[in-house]
Amino acid sequence: MGVKIAKNRVNEFLKYLKEEYILYAPVEENGVSKISKIEDTSDIINLPYRTQISLKPIFFPPEQKFFRFEKKNGGVEIEDYLPQEGDDKSIIFGVRGCDVNAIEVLDKYMLDEFEDPYYRKRRENAIIIGISCDYPKESCFCTAFGGMVPERYDLWFTDIGPHFYVDIGSKRGEKLIDDKFFEEASEEDEMRKIRRINSVETKINRKVKTNLHDIKKYYHKIKNRADDSIWEELGRKCVSCGKCNFICPTCHCFDVKDMTNIDGSAGERIRVWDSCHLYDYAKTSAENFREERKARVRYRIYDKFVFPVMRYGVYACTGCGRCSEVCPAGIDIHAVVRRLIK
Ligand code: SF4
Ligand code: SF4
């Protein structure tokens, strides 16, 4: 059985957490909703669904400095920017299911075969407090991949009227449960939570009408459409701006640059986000192996629904719908997938 917290005590609870942790929560800045570091808990906004910007920049920022170097006394001095133990001990509050699932996908790329120590430090130090959505945004299709509540979280809040029902998903989550704020939930509260989640998922399903749960079946279907005319059609529409990559919570391509001063005696090594939609992405000294736009459009869709299934057994799309929302050419990934699995 879980616990519950009165809605009017949540702000106080977050203030209490902020005394020990760096707190991240949904805010609106210049008209854009995102999960940001909170200085004042009154800045937190109450959205019924996901933010426009995902959690990705918290763990995998658009620009990551690796180290600084300087030629000195006949040698080279190096200052590492790796976060220290205990840095960034954080609570991320108000995260939605699609974004928790997206971070699990990012973990595979960043922590599995090749470990990124910068990502690992931030990820290990972050406690996730998620919350069930009230209803989906127009572009959301998360239930195509499963339910609205992810398998892994530390705490999970669901609206049950004057309270949030709180599921405890980990030891770290359990440690945050203080009698000052939480009380034991009853069986009736638990039933309310289940009914609430079912009713929101039913609403989303009614809108989404896509079921990709059988990964093996759908990955094969999409893989077999490599020569389909859809790529030519989408290639003509796409303007190669890369917005879909940058906004996606699971896209993780990057470039590494050395930025030095004019005589090369000092500088920094920096990692920046890259995009497989950009013309230069596949350019090598010999050739550009994805010169045509249709090849780049296909590559991105395959890198969501085919390659990650072959490599890790998961899709690298969680149905957040952000790429469809920002695409200036009106390419809607949900509609593309529906055509591919027909
Ligand atoms: S591919 Fe599009 S819908 Fe899927 S996770 Fe990325 S941004 Fe969201
Ligand atoms: S956002 Fe749209 S137009 Fe831009 S690269 Fe992605 S699919 Fe192409």
Identify which ligand lies nearest to the alpha carbon of 244: 2
Integer Cα distance of 207 and 86 in angstroms = 44
Task: Answer whether 273's CB lies under 8 Å from 281's CB.
Answer: no
Distance from residue 332's CA to the centre of ligand 2 (Å): 10
pLDDT at 146: 83
Which of 52, 101, 317, 336 to mutate to test ligand 1, by most ligand atoms within 8 A of the CB atom? 317
Integer Cα distance of 317 and 251 in angstroms = 9
pLDDT at 15: 97
Give the 3-state DSSP-derived string for the chain, with helices as H, strands as E and coil as C: CCEEEEHHHHHHHHHHHHCCCEEEEEEEECCEEEEEECCCHHHCCCCCCCCCCCCHHHHCCCEEEEEEEEEECCEEEEEECCCCCCCCCEEEEEECHHHHHHHHHHHHHHHHCCCCHHHHHHHHCEEEEEECCCCCCCCCCHHHCCCCCCCCCCEEEEECCCEEEEEECCHHHHHCCCCCCEEECCHHHHHHHHHHHHHHHHHHHHHHCCCCCCHHHHHHHHHCCCCCCHHHHHHHHCCCCCHHHHHCCCCCCEEEEEEECCCCCEEEEEEEECCCCCHHHHECCCCECCCCHHHHHHHHHHHHHCHHHHHHCCCCCCCCCHHHHHCCCCCCHHHHHHHHCC
Integer Cα distance of 137 and 53 in angstroms = 13
Q: Look at residues 257, 248, 256, 311 and name the one whose alpha carbon lies nearest to residue 277.
A: 248
pLDDT at 56: 96
327 touches ligand 2 (CB under 6 Å): yes
Q: Look at residues 6, 154, 162, 32 and name the one whose alpha carbon lies nearest to residue 93.
A: 154
5 touches ligand 2 (CB under 6 Å): no
Distance from residue 6's CA to the centre of ligand 2 (Å): 43
Q: Give the residue carrying structure tokens 């009017």.
A: 8
Please give the structure tokens belonging to residue 93: 């509050």
Starting at the earlier edge strand, list the strands of the sheet with 3-6.
32-37, 22-29, 90-95, 126-131, 155-159, 163-168, 3-6, 182-184
Identify which ligand lies nearest to the alpha carbon of 298: 2
Residue 320 CA: which ligand 1 atom is closest?
8
Q: Look at residues 212, 234, 211 and name the one whose alpha carbon lies nearest to residue 309.
A: 212
How many domains would you assign to the chain? 1
Identify which ligand lies nearest to the alpha carbon of 212: 1
Q: Whose CA is nearest to atom 6 of ligand 1?
A: 248
Which of 304, 305, 334 to mutate to test ligand 1, by most ligand atoms within 8 A of the CB atom? 304
Identify which ligand lies nearest to the alpha carbon of 235: 2
Gap between the terminal Cα atoms of the chain: 42
pLDDT at 261: 96
Distance from residue 267's CA to the centre of ligand 1 (Å): 35
Distance from residue 57's CA to the centre of ligand 2 (Å): 20
Integer Cα distance of 304 and 222 in angstroms = 11
pLDDT at 82: 83
Written as one letter, the residue type at 262 is I
Q: Whose CA is nearest to atom 7 of ligand 2?
A: 238
Which of 241, 322, 332 to mutate to test ligand 2, by most ligand atoms within 8 A of the CB atom? 241
Distance from residue 248's CA to the centre of ligand 1 (Å): 5
pLDDT by residue for the chain (342 residues), tens digit each?
Answer: 789 999 999 999 999 999 999 999 999 999 999 999 999 999 999 999 999 999 999 999 999 999 999 999 999 999 998 876 556 789 999 999 999 999 999 999 999 988 999 999 889 989 999 999 998 899 999 999 988 899 999 999 999 999 999 999 999 999 999 999 999 999 999 999 999 999 999 988 888 888 999 999 999 999 999 999 999 999 999 999 999 999 999 999 999 999 999 999 999 999 999 999 999 999 989 999 999 999 999 999 999 999 999 999 999 999 999 999 999 999 999 999 999 998
pLDDT at 86: 54
Which residues' Cβ are closer than 6 Å to ligand 1?
A: 102, 247-250, 304, 317-323, 333
pLDDT at 147: 81
Task: Answer whether 276's CB lies under 8 Å from 299's CB.
Answer: yes
Task: Answer whether 215's CB lies under 8 Å from 313's CB.
Answer: yes
Identify which ligand lies nearest to the alpha carbon of 323: 1
Integer Cα distance of 42 and 32 in angstroms = 17
Q: Which domain holds residue 106?
A: 3-340
Q: Whose CA is nearest to atom 3 of ligand 1?
A: 321
Q: Give the residue carrying structure tokens 């705490």.
A: 155
